[in-house]
């Protein structure tokens, strides 16, 4: 039960007018009057040289009151209050002058109140030696209730150890100031002013304007700092563990300037209470760091306007087990953080969890609520976690605008970060970010980061703009502005990706902006959801992307992307993309647009909506791209596409819209481009009006290898195609022609070739193995000097474990190994002068990975060799211990990097490498001669050593893939008049060509290397052709067939060299089915041809009420295979004499052509009229009235026999 006390109020009122305007804050106040003079007889002052001993006073319960006429302490002086028997000491100055405190002020009571309504100035030599809390005020009235209850001290609060009711009253608008001045020439980190209180106590200023400047230092370890500035009549109440302000019409200014510090850091970070009209911090800091097991405190800032500039920042982080603090900023005006200082310290807010120890504390939470919030020129909020603690929460609410813009001197943009940076087991989760305002703008490399580098889950990002959310990157820059919520750890325990939610009336992105949700490990990729009530516009290379990148079996699937809008515009190379770079399935894309989707590119930039299976993918598949819209328009080099560049299947495309229009070089495509690849996806289109206008407008599915071309299904009221194409094709061509053998060698890629091509602005490397491209995960580079070494990162896309040799003439080369991660990268010297460290457990080596703070030292020097010998497998593993700084200056990242590159003396040593070392796939073995020259390099692929040979450079990966060759590919060399065929390993001369009924007859042939046998009776899953080499028959590479096209429409107009085709280069042609009320084909084609090889022509089935053809072609032809079948059913069928309908074969059986129409032989019914049949000139000479009796001719058509043209 709470104890009861009698409350005795002590009321002190000062009626002296303030002379605050006379205070010169720039003066050192040497000439200010010296001494302390009592104003009441109860206060006894004994002075001895520079010491003032103060005793006596008016005593009420646990409070002692002193009143002074003058109270000044100069440098070297001290005032000692003998008040150890009291809880509260009140020292009130009632004279007409301000107090100058520049010496030592000592008190033994729990709370010391210093009050002078004329002002208080604390100089650079102030030393505060109080047992408890210190309160300084320029109030006119002071009200104290001298009582406490046990509940009041049960927990630490911002008003700990003061009476339950304390008030400071101000009787008019003339409120005096408080200033604290440090020693501006001091450059160390020691606290200068000595304005400090002991652990868990309070420093409180309640006055007019407050100035803290010139390296001033105020410290309340684990306690409280309260800064309250008022410039009008009113009262400040401290009661019931709260601070309340009443009656004030205007607040004052608080300025913290010139490298000053206020600090409540401790075992648990302390608390701040700040109230003012204007709060300005310049090149100074506010600290509340948690250094122990207690949790951080609460920073409570409520001001009209707040400005932090030139490297000013708030840090409420945790570096230990306790959680970081909470920051709440409320403003009726503007909150501004801007720029950096001369030491490159940027302005901002830090709430990190930086401990890497187990059970580390969590990062803190920040909430900003203002009219306008701005972070400019590199200013940022960091609430990341470096260890097992969780990332913090960032919440920003603004009535008018949130603005993040500009970058630091070193090029780091203003940003928000709640990332989880540890890659160790047990790493904390990334935090969350919530932004809400009328308008939100990010510009000049500003970004939002909620990623996880390790096992922790990525955080979520939620952005809500009631009007416009805009984000502009740097124009003509290779750097991007980014909103990202992803996972980077490529391991089976990688974290989950975070979600990104964006709500806005309008969305406006320009100049290389990216929204990205990705997963690099086992974790599922996060979701992107965008809801725009009006227009979402993406211009000049902007991207929305969901990615899964792991190549391992444990890879997580990519997240889904869902965008809703009234209008969507993608222009000048902007894209919406879902990609799998590895084994996981790509995420879905769903676009739901009420009115119009507009895609427009230009000559050099393709705007697109795409789903991709990357060339690096290891079995990952694409997912559906689904689009609903009122109208879809593609202009000028724009695309909707799904692509597979590896063995996975491309995703499907589904479009539902009233109007679908393609112009210029625009296309809707699903394709597979790798020879040994997956199937192309299907395209389904539901629309009222489909229009393809112009050459290179295209709707297509295609296979460039073993995969099948996808199906195309179109349901539309009207289809209008002019110079456009709808195709489903098989494009793989096994036959090539070359002028010379040199040209032939130059254009063929075989096992061992290294392939380079640009991706972004850097070259990436692959090697060829059995006619596929594989990522060269670790490369070996040879350079002349350190400048060349550092330049490698600008030219190539480097990977952790890459090795570079700096050549030393006549000596052993100097070797470096490369390590990188999301926030740093470095080349590390093999430091052979250091003693290698041997470990008994490989997990001990991996556990060395982590982040070390500025004051911590990694356990081993940079470049140290770390080795592990597996006693069971009897194999060695060697690591290089690499150090690097984080790019955002958090600390030093260390990582043991496996050395996967070895030196040997000759080819016989290759087998010994596998026996002695725990080799990873892609291990490199360098044969170095006695003179030091490199003789050859081998790579380990699936337990097989492959010799690397010539490096070839291509413009892109698609061109490189086209140069890969498969078993059965034939090269015709014109100058030598010879043909060569590829066995799968080498090129040999093409010899005899046989034809047999089935595979069983192959063994009866007297075959020699280079012979071909073609099977005439094709069975399912049996190759059509075989090659004889190395005493055995090997099946040809089997290319996939073309797909199927189904079209249902009321009206179809096809003209100006347009085509609908399911053609194939070598395999079977696909099928075309058209069902329509009316079809007109003018100077255009419908074909299912096979252009080479033994595949059969496809089938064409057309059902229509009216079918008119002029100068057109309908064909299902073949070369060695049989012709296809053409069936046409029409009530009204008309074709011109130069229209061709055929299903032929050059060397196979003819196909079938069947036309079911009322009269097929239209030509035989046509009468050739004389040329002057319509010449009526002879009749025009005679008037009609004069020809009444002459015979006349008439041609009369009755209405029911005239065919209607709809």
pLDDT at residue number 1089: 77
pLDDT at residue number 454: 62
pLDDT at residue number 1069: 63
pLDDT at residue number 614: 61
8 A C-beta contact, residue 1106 and residue 1081: no
Distance, CA of 140 to CA of 119 (rounded, Å): 11
Quick one: CA dihedral 352, 354, 355, 356, positive or negative?
A: positive
8 A C-beta contact, residue 508 and residue 479: no
8 A C-beta contact, residue 200 and residue 224: no
Segments of the chain scoring below 50 in pLDDT:
1-22, 25-26, 147-162, 187-189, 191-192, 887-888, 1021-1022, 1206
What letters, b where the CB count within 10 A reaches 16 and e where it falls short, cover 374-403?
bbbbbbbbbbbbbbbbbbbbbbbbbeebbb
Q: Cα dihedral angle (1185, 1191, 1192, 1196), rounded to 10 degrees?
A: 130
> Closest Cα to residue 649, out of 731, 552, 728, 580?
580
What are the Cα distances from residue 968, in Å, to 677, 857, 965, 982, 1068?
A: 17, 61, 9, 5, 17
pLDDT at residue number 20: 40
pLDDT at residue number 49: 84
H or E stretch covering 517: strand 513-519
Q: Cα dihedral angle (311, 315, 320, 325), rounded to 10 degrees?
A: -170
Q: Measured in Å, how far apart are the chain's first and last C-alpha atoms?
A: 95
8 A C-beta contact, residue 465 and residue 442: no
pLDDT at residue number 149: 31
Query: What's the chain's average pLDDT?
Result: 83
- Max Cα separation, the chain? 153
What are the Cα distances from residue 528, in Å, to 362, 700, 828, 855?
A: 26, 28, 38, 39
Distance, CA of 261 to CA of 272 (rounded, Å): 13
Pairing of strands 393-405, 365-376: parallel
- SS3 track for 188-201: CCCCCCCEEECCCC
φ/ψ of residue 739, rounded to 5:
-70, -35
φ/ψ of residue 486, rounded to 5:
-140, 175
Provide the 8-state DSSP code for 151: G
Tens-digit pLDDT profile for residues 247-270:
999 999 999 999 999 999 998 889
pLDDT at residue number 18: 41
Distance, CA of 91 to CA of 71 (rounded, Å): 9
> Closest Cα to residue 755, out of 557, 933, 900, 616?
616
Question: 1004's torsion region: left (phi>0), alpha (psi -120 to 50) or beta?
Answer: alpha
Q: Cα dihedral angle (226, 232, 238, 243), rounded to 10 degrees?
A: -60
Residues of the chain with pLDDT > 90, as a percent, come to 41
pLDDT at residue number 1136: 92
């Amino acid at each position: 039960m709470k104890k009861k006390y009698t409350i005795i109020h002590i009321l002190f009122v000062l009626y002296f007018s303030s002379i605050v305007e006379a205070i010169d804050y720039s003066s050192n106040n040497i000439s200010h009057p010296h001494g302390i003079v009592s104003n009441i007889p109860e206060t006894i002052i004994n002075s001895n040289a520079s010491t003032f001993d103060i005793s006596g006073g008016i005593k009420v319960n646990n409070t002692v009151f002193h009143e002074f006429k003058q109270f000044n302490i100069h440098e070297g002086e001290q005032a000692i209050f003998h008040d150890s028997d009291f809880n509260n000491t009140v020292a009130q100055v009632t004279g007409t002058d301000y107090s100058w405190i520049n010496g030592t002020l000592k008190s033994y009571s729990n709370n010391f109140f210093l009050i002078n309504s004329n002002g208080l100035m604390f100089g650079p030599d102030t030393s505060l030696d109080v047992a408890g809390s210190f309160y300084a005020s320029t109030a006119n009235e002071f009200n104290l209730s001298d009582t406490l209850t046990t509940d009041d001290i049960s927990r630490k609060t911002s008003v700990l150890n003061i009476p339950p009711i304390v008030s400071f009253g101000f009787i008019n608008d003339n409120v005096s100031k408080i200033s604290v001045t440090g020693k501006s020439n001091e450059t160390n980190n020691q606290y200068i002013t000595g304005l400090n209180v002991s652990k868990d106590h309070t420093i409180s200023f309640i006055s007019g304007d407050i100035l803290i400047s010139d390296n001033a230092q105020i410290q309340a370890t684990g306690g409280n700092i309260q800064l309250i500035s008022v410039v009008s009549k009113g009262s400040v109440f401290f009661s019931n563990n709260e601070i309340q302000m009443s009656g004030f019409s205007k607040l004052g200014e608080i300025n913290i300037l010139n490298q000053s510090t206020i600090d409540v850091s401790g075992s648990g970070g302390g608390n701040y209470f700040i109230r003012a009209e204007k709060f300005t911090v310049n090149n100074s800091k506010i600290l509340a760091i948690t250094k122990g097991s207690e949790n951080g405190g609460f920073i409570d800032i409520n001001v009209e306007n707040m400005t932090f500039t030139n490297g000013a920042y708030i840090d409420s982080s945790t570096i230990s087990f306790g959680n970081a603090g909470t920051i709440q900023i409320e403003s009726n005006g503007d909150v501004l953080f801007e720029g950096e200082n001369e030491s490159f310290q940027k302005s901002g807010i830090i709430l990190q969890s930086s401990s890497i120890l187990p059970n580390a504390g969590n990062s803190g939470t920040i909430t900003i609520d203002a009219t306008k919030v701005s972070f400019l020129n590199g200013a940022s909020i960091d609430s990341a976690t470096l260890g097992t603690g969780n990332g913090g929460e960032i919440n920003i609410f603004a009535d008018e605008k949130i603005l993040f813009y500009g970058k630091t001197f070193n090029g780091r943009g203003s940003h928000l970060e709640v990332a989880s940076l540890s890659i160790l087991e047990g790493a904390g989760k990334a935090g969350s970010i919530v932004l809400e305002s009328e308008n939100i703008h990010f510009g000049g490399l500003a970004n939002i980061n909620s990623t996880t580098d390790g096992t922790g889950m990525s955080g979520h990002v939620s952005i809500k703009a009631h009007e416009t959310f805009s984000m502009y990157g740097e124009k003509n820059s290779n750097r991007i502005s980014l909103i990202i919520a992803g996972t980077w750890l490529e391991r089976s325990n990688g974290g989950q990706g975070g979600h990104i939610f964006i709500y806005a009336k309008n969305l406006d992105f320009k100049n290389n902006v990216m929204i990205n949700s990705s997963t690099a490990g086992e974790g599922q990729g996060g979701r992107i959801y965008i809801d725009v009530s009006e227009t979402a516009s993406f211009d000049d290379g902007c991207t929305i992307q969901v990615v899964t990148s792991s190549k391992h079996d444990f890879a997580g699937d990519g997240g889904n992307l869902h965008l809703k809008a009234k209008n969507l515009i993608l222009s000048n190379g902007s894209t919406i993309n879902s990609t799998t770079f590895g084994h996981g399935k790509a995420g879905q894309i769903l676009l739901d647009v009420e009115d119009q989707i507009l895609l427009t590119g230009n000559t050099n930039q393709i705007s697109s909506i795409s789903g991709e299976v990357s060339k690096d993918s290891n079995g990952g598949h694409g997912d559906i791209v689904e689009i609903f819209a009122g109208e879809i328009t593609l202009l000028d080099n724009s695309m909707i596409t799904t692509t597979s560049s590896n063995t996975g299947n491309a995703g499907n495309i589904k479009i539902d819209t009233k109007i679908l229009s393609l112009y210029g070089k625009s296309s809707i495509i699903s394709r597979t481009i790798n020879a040994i690849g997956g199937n192309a996806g299907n395209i389904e289109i539901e629309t009222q009006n489909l229009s393809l206008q112009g050459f290179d407008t295209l709707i297509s599915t295609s296979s460039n290898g073993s995969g099948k071309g996808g199906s195309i299904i179109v349901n539309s009221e009207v289809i209008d195609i002019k110079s456009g194409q709808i195709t489903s094709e098989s494009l793989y061509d096994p036959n090539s022609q070359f002028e010379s053998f040199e040209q032939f060698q130059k254009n063929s890629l075989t096992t061992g070739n290294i392939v380079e091509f640009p991706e972004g602005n850097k070259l990436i490397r692959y090697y060829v193995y059995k006619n596929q491209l594989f990522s060269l995960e670790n490369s070996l580079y040879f350079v002349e000097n350190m400048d060349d070494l550092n330049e490698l990162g600008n030219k190539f896309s480097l990977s952790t474990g890459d090795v570079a040799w700096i050549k030393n003439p006549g000596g052993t080369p100097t070797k470096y190994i490369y390590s990188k991660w999301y926030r740093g990268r470095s080349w590390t010297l093999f430091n052979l002068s250091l003693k290698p460290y041997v470990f008994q457990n490989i997990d001990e080596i991996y556990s060395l990975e982590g982040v070390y703070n500025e004051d911590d030292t990694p356990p081993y020097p940079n470049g140290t060799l770390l080795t592990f010998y597996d006693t069971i497998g009897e194999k060695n593993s060697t690591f290089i211990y690499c150090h690097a700084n984080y790019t955002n200056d958090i600390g030093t990242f260390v990582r043991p990097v496996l050395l996967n590159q070895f030196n040997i003396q000759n080819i016989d040593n290759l087998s010994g490498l596998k026996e002695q070392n725990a080799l990873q796939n892609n291990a490199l073995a360098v044969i170095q001669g006695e003179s030091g020259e490199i003789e050859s390099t081998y790579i380990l692929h699936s337990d097989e050593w492959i010799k690397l040979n010539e490096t070839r450079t291509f413009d892109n990966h698609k061109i490189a893939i086209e140069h890969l060759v498969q078993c059965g590919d034939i090269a015709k060399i014109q100058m030598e008049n010879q043909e060569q065929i590829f066995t799968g390993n080498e090129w040999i001369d093409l010899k005899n060509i046989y034809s047999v009924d089935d595979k069983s007859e192959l063994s009866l042939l007297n075959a020699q290397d280079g012979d071909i046998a073609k099977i005439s009776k094709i069975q399912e899953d049996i190759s059509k052709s075989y090659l004889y080499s190395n005493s055995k028959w090997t099946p040809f590479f089997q290319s996939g067939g073309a797909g199927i096209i189904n079209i249902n429409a009321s009206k179809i107009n096809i003209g100006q060299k347009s085509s609908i085709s399911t053609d194939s280069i070598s395999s079977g042609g696909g099928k075309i089915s058209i069902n329509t009320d009316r079809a007109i084909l003018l100077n255009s084609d419908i074909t299912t041809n096979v252009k080479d090889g033994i595949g059969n022509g496809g089938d064409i089935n057309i059902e229509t009420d009216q079918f008119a053809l002029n100068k057109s072609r309908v064909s299902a032809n073949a070369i060695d295979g049989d012709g296809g079948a053409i069936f046409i059913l029409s009530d009204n069928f008309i074709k011109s004499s130069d229209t061709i309908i055929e299903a032929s074969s050059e060397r196979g059986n003819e196909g079938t052509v069947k036309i079911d129409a009322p009269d097929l032989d239209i030509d035989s019914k046509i009468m050739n009229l004389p040329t002057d049949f319509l010449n009526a000139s002879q009749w025009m000479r005679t008037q009609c009235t004069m020809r009444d009796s002459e015979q006349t001719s008439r041609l009369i058509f009755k209405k029911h026999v005239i065919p209607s043209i709809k």
